[in-house]
């Protein structure tokens, strides 16, 4: 899916992304894909991202989140 970051709190390590359809999904820092395991995992408000979805016991969440213009 393609969407954008609604907000992300780097100190707390989570936030939300919006799909192109306007649906909001929770994202945790562990679900962010970076070029290196040593890279800081964060998102910037309103940036475009690509992501997959997974059903969890807490609802549907975004995973494999990739910043499209890092």
pLDDT at 2: 97
Written as six digits, the tokens of 5 are: 């970051």
Q: What is the DSSP string of 19-49?
A: ETTS-EEEEEGGGB--SSTTS-----TT-EE
Asked if residue 9 lies in contact with residue 16, where contact means CB atoms within 8 angstroms, the answer is no
pLDDT at 37: 80
Encode pLDDT of 9-28 as tens digits.
999 999 999 999 999 999 99
Domain 13-35+42-67 CATH assignment equals 3.40.630.30: no
Written as six digits, the tokens of 46 are: 């309103």
Q: Average pLDDT across each block of 10 residues of the chain; the chain has 70 residues. List them in order.
A: 97 97 96 88 96 95 93
Q: Where are the domains of the chain?
A: 13-35+42-67
């Amino acid at each position: 899916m393609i969407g954008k970051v609604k907000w992300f709190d780097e100190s707390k390590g989570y936030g939300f992304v919006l799909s192109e359809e306007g649906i909001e999904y929770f994202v945790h820092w562990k679900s962010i894909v970076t070029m290196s395991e040593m890279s800081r995992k964060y998102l910037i408000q309103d940036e475009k991202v690509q992501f997959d979805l997974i059903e969890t016991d807490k609802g549907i969440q975004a995973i494999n989140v990739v910043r499209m213009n890092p």
